[in-house]
Structure 1
């Protein structure tokens, strides 16, 4: 049976999807994910801007530093299991209860370890900064509540992301109302860190509730040590890769915070916020098509690579659609969003928005590596990106501040997502496919 929305499509698009039930299911799932991100982008951006204006560059820089510290160690809490769990649930649905229970057990232990490391590291890097230490200690609880995102992975494997959208958006909306109340009450910066953890707590409760409403029960989950060892054997390169990935995603803000001022970091963080609005696009698309990519690899190699090329083409096209207009309108965008106090963020935004093109392709390329189970290759690619980012920040930040950090991000994103693929012979076909998508991007 066709999805109801198909009848509303233009004729040339309707012909492409009619009768293709798997494609309709993927598009419906992607639509839910897009709706989720658009809601968050709209409400989240508005409230985020309001918070940035309320706190000012220095206060916004302080909370951005804490968020970056938590983000770096969040890779330990996730344990690199997301794509592996979806893959295993697709391949072995009969072991669903064991897989979910084992992964939850792993993540609960890992999230507490990640929280401890985040707090300790902050005390080492900023031993006299009590504000940063308190913010990290409060915000870090989001990692622990995030353990229950394993239920989200269950819904992803069923291509039923709408349930995760319901749950997480409920938590997001309630937390957003709390944030508005905090601004009205002129609350201190730590209160906004607490609101962030509250959002993840409510999201976890919502996921549990909807999982149960679907006739499933967490009480049926079982932890299997043998399965845990197997999953960890597959995921340890992804754990390292995730840590390295978050380093090269967030090290710019941490190094800028250490080598410059909270004020400069606040300016830079405002540009990052605008550039990262669009990150939901590749994530939503890839998470929806990944189960079908895994199936195609098992049945038809030619179709497998054909689907990958289409994915690369699409994400490159969408990257250009965003980067080109923002390049010319960066100053206007920053002024309208954040006001005169953040005007210096415009050149940073121009550099960061072009890094999104390579970030898009990296997300798609990572889906290929996961389908091939080349987790160690992914680790090496990400490591090269992180090393280049750290080195470039070390030389550019002291002289150019936030602009130097943005330039470092652009170059390192290209290295990790595209350039490094040419260094490894089995990936040169993929590198050429990525180059083709950059030179000839297509929407369809």
Structure 2
């Protein structure tokens, strides 16, 4: 009974219940998109086939470079400016951010559209699809509202808005499949999801923050512009690393190969989503240990790295056993090549999980310059490896490029800096689960 009262008292502390509820909404959003998205996307992929999926994914990959530019890369700075401010300051921040985002989104939309038109090489269908996908940049200008909701633990409204759009678009996709519609209509369903989500975000913002009016701040505008470039470079480097393989496959091999490979990437992203949930949950513990001192931080880092590495081993094991069956069930024989792509990609999950908390460690110890260097190393290495391996090994070459890139930037790079050797050694021991082996021997 005493334990129950302690837990209840802790839960009812100011802020604790709100934080937990906020996290629960974010986790719910991840689950809905992982499960629902996987099933709907599998059905759509079967219906459209590798070539059409490849055309769609190529446009999305190219657009993603411009989308990261339009998103400004200043999420953390923006969220900080929304935390516990007056209504007047909130409106001023929102108006300034929205103005900046609209301006840059228009430029990004035009850049993505014209580049995709150039790549289309006078293919009318590809030109139309390119411009439609590029227009998603304009629809997503309302994402600035999510910064306010994140800062004030109101993520449930973000999840409700986006999930409603996702469900509605999924129903439309089912209708399109049943009645044999063409690829362009599925792009329309993709845009519908974003549009509905954006409208609902605006609705919730106007409801929660009324009265809403326009209040531009030149000082805030300059602050965001000042923060824009360095944060954007890091975000852009990450986007290049995650998307360049698909762009290069589309250009070097063709749409059909890209369609097959991108299905493996979609499945692999489930492991990334799981890591994101685990990582966000474990970061507070790392922060707590940092406050106790560097030795506590190092010990906690190795413990977390060992635990996450162990989880990755389980994921890789089951992926290698079940990949062929899963690809066949979800996508069919036309996408059979995705199974080997997925098996290779999953090897990188070991290094991703093993060194995933590395960035958080570097932030806590104020070594942000190493994060920047790592981002650009991953971008440059990945582009180089894709250029060398895709012509020789096809899509499997792209998968190997991802594995080598994560291995180098998340593990090997630690030994290039004196300040991160301690991280590299901890991760090396984590590969062999030394932390838990020691615990077992101590008990015995």
- Does the 8 A contact of 1:235 with 1:375 survive in 2? no
Seen in structure 2, the aligned counterparts of structure 1 residues 423 and 59 have a Cα distance that, compared at 3 Å, is: same
Output the CA distance in 2 between the equivalents of 1:160 and 1:312: 31
Give the counterpart of 1:100 among 91, 94, 97. 94
Deviation at residue 216 of structure 1 after TM alignment? 1.2
Deviation at residue 375 of structure 1 after TM alignment? 5.3
Determine the structure 2 residue equivalent to 1:70: 63
State whether structure 2 residue 107 is matched by structure 1 residue 85. no
Output the CA distance in 2 between the equivalents of 1:41 and 1:335: 18
Where does structure 2 lack aligned partners over 5 or more consecutive residues? 437-444
Determine the structure 1 residue equivalent to 2:440: none
Count of aligned pairs: 430
Deviation at residue 258 of structure 1 after TM alignment? 0.7
Identify the range of structure 1 (41-50 vs 97-106) with the bigger mean alpha-carbon deviation: 97-106
- Does the 8 A contact of 1:86 with 1:153 survive in 2? yes
Where does structure 1 lack aligned partners over 5 or more consecutive residues? 1-6
Seen in structure 2, the aligned counterparts of structure 1 residues 14 and 23 have a Cα distance that, compared at 3 Å, is: farther
Seen in structure 2, the aligned counterparts of structure 1 residues 274 and 322 have a Cα distance that, compared at 3 Å, is: same
Deviation at residue 344 of structure 1 after TM alignment? 1.4
- Does the 8 A contact of 1:256 with 1:265 survive in 2? yes
Give the counterpart of 1:44 among 15, 28, 37. 37
Deviation at residue 349 of structure 1 after TM alignment? 0.4
Determine the structure 2 residue equivalent to 1:417: 410
Seen in structure 2, the aligned counterparts of structure 1 residues 296 and 171 have a Cα distance that, compared at 3 Å, is: same
Determine the structure 2 residue equivalent to 1:264: 257
CA-atom RMSD in angstroms:
3.3
Identify the range of structure 1 (55-64 vs 223-232) with the bigger mean alpha-carbon deviation: 223-232
Output the CA distance in 1 between the equivalents of 2:78 and 2:285: 15
**In structure 2, the residue corresponding to 1:350 is in which secondary structure?**
helix
Deviation at residue 364 of structure 1 after TM alignment? 3.9
Deviation at residue 403 of structure 1 after TM alignment? 0.6
Output the CA distance in 2 between the equivalents of 1:274 and 1:354: 13
TM-score for both structures, normalised by structure 2: 0.85
Determine the structure 2 residue equivalent to 1:156: 150
Determine the structure 1 residue equivalent to 2:346: 353
Determine the structure 2 residue equivalent to 1:19: 10
- Does the 8 A contact of 1:66 with 1:139 survive in 2? yes
Give the counterpart of 1:123 among 117, 128, 135. 117
Determine the structure 1 residue equivalent to 2:374: 381
Output the CA distance in 2 between the equivalents of 1:245 and 1:351: 20
- Does the 8 A contact of 2:132 with 2:187 survive in 1? yes
Deviation at residue 173 of structure 1 after TM alignment? 0.6
- Does the 8 A contact of 1:384 with 1:416 survive in 2? yes
- Does the 8 A contact of 1:381 with 1:416 survive in 2? yes
State whether structure 2 residue 139 is matched by structure 1 residue 145. yes
Give the counterpart of 1:178 among 167, 172, 191. 172
Output the CA distance in 2 between the equivalents of 1:307 and 1:28: 26
Give the counterpart of 1:337 among 308, 312, 330. 330
Determine the structure 1 residue equivalent to 2:217: 224
Identify the range of structure 1 (387-396 vs 309-318) with the bigger mean alpha-carbon deviation: 309-318
TM-score for both structures, normalised by structure 1: 0.85
- Does the 8 A contact of 2:290 with 2:364 survive in 1? no
Deviation at residue 277 of structure 1 after TM alignment? 2.4
- Does the 8 A contact of 2:355 with 2:427 survive in 1? no
- Does the 8 A contact of 1:87 with 1:294 survive in 2? no
Determine the structure 2 residue equivalent to 1:240: 233
Deviation at residue 103 of structure 1 after TM alignment? 2.2
Whose Rg is larger? 2
State whether structure 2 residue 161 is matched by structure 1 residue 167. yes
Output the CA distance in 2 between the equivalents of 1:395 and 1:13: 60
Output the CA distance in 1 between the equivalents of 2:367 and 2:401: 27
